[in-house]
Structure 1
Amino acid sequence: MVMPMFAKIYDGKWDRNALDYLALVDQWHVVIESKEVPEGKPVPITLLGEKIVLWRSEGGQVNAWKDYCAHRGAPLSLGKVQNCKIVCPYHGWHFNDAGKCVHVPAHPDQETPAKSVVQQYRAVEKYGFVWVSIGTPQSDVPRIPRWDDDEYRKVHAGPYFYNANALRCLDNFMDASHFPHVHPGINGRGDEPDTTIHYKVIEKEDELQTTEFTVVQPYADARGIPLSVRYHYYCLSPTVAYSDKQTGPNDHWFTWCALTPVDEDRAIFWLVVSFNYGKDIDEKKIHERQAIVFGEQDRWIVEAQRPFSMPLDISEEMHVTSDRLGVAYRRWVKALGEKKRAEISGGQAVATAA
């Protein structure tokens, strides 16, 4: 039996009935790198305004629970992990990874409470990250391109911390027409903006893709050379996307990003680059370029956007041809939110009838 108090304990800013929030509930989200969750220590994180504790049980299995013990409301992240169980810091209650209280120090001989005093979320590890969903995901975690291809070198970059909405951040990532203005001398030419960003959006049930378009970049990759490059974008979820930048006949530079929607106005930007050339490129150069583009330049402009939440009604903004992916993205997120809202309304109607 789940305690009704769980739904009332929420410290986030998000309107949990808003379409953008509802669109994210059932998604998988990167919340932290796996290496940052050690055995024997609880780790607090925040996702969609929800305070969560991560901890490892037997065999290193990662668990994601609401950071709240319903006995007296203490945060479990202030406790400890002992004998593969998490221990509440207030009264020392022990919980196994099934969420069951197995020991109450004040009453060691009494039967432990039948009610669950913790709320568990789904958590998996993949690609070096911990992924969490506070809802019911309908698919596996989004892919990272060429992850299993040994011809591609992979580098994790970031994280970068934004005081901005995660949807705004991903919309910026998938927008190439800002390159000359926000990234002059790197991703675009400030004195000669590209007029070649013409593409179509291919809409699938679970992702968005673009056809190819070409731009000129003065600092096209970590080699620091100018190139005319060909782009494709792939949006795999409302908070995960990647670009395939073709820098030569058979040379590809993939930039994959995942945004953690910490709260309505806070996000964490995670990056993985994969490329099949330039094996001698200094990893330091990769980090330096990514930090300038994503950690400084993009962050500056996205944090300045208003309103914080990305409008899902396309009539509330102006759009041009090069915004086709952004328009499709807004419509897709809105549709996901409306679908979740209908599911909730349907469930409430059934419960009322019963």
Structure 2
Amino acid sequence: MNKYVLDQYDRPMKDLRISVIDQCNFRCTYCMPAEIFGEDYRFMHQDELLSFDEIIRLVEVFAQFGVEKIRITGGEPLMRKNLDELIYRLNQIEGIKDIAVTTNAVFLVKQAKKLKAAGLQRVNISLDAIEDEVFKITNGRGVKTKPVLKGIEAAREAGLEIKINMVVKQGMNESQILPMARYFKNTGDTLRFIEFMDVGNHNGWNMSEVVSKKKIIDDIHEEMPLIPLDANYYGEVASRYRYEDSDAEIGVISSVTDAFCSSCTRIRLSADGQLFTCLFASKGYDIREMIRSGKTDQEITSRLIKIWTGRDDQYSVERAQKKPQRDKKIEMSYIGG
């Protein structure tokens, strides 16, 4: 009955993003700027994080609503101990059809094979430049591309599907659009460009630093002609293109210049059990307290139905309409993306 209720809603719930840790080994300038997230920054204690048992219980409830896709995020999720055990258990839940991890790939050399064996299907790898000098700036730690490229190769050898995510920021890495396209066209991995977004309050977001979807596509098309493709599924946020002379694809996620709030099917769970119905939300709903205070699955189910059917998130639409913006938004480092 729960799935029926939400299937009748104009935005069905299909995609659950789970942040499993708030720590990361990079300090990317658009997500965890070093001046905020320095060496003394206090991350969550272990007992603040949802346990694997708590995550599994919640996903079993979410699956009743029609959730089919699970994305494990962070921080850097591969820093969470025994993540392969969580992947294995998620894979046993009826109704879950797709499990992916968003990672910077550094730990994939050691973990890719066991993650694949546990049932992981895909890795979404963050890489914002292919040239070392630019990449060192974007990751905030002076790390070169080699560790990431080795992780990508390990994922490929393990048989994982690979998507590469590049956040494009004017004045920082827009020079890397064509080099990234050339490189990953040859590997056959799907490359997705993401407009620099105003998630959170710490990345110093400014509209003048956004490189639009149109600009990205036009620049690539001029050198490597592109053919637009249909969406793979309802609610897909990336506009898809294929090269004329190749089966390789690219995509562009354009939540700044194109609002897609009306078709959003995603819900997000923070590492400490706060539920968010929008990436640009200013507040969450405390689900951890419900679990730890002994609420039944039915009570949690009733709460989730109320949260989802009551959502009215239209942040990207409101931004485009130049309506007054909220003073505070959840940080990317906390909710994962």
Of Structure 1 and Structure 2, the greater helix share is in: 2
Larger radius of gyration: 1
Report the TM-score when normalising by structure 1.
Answer: 0.22
Of Structure 1 and Structure 2, the greater strand share is in: 1
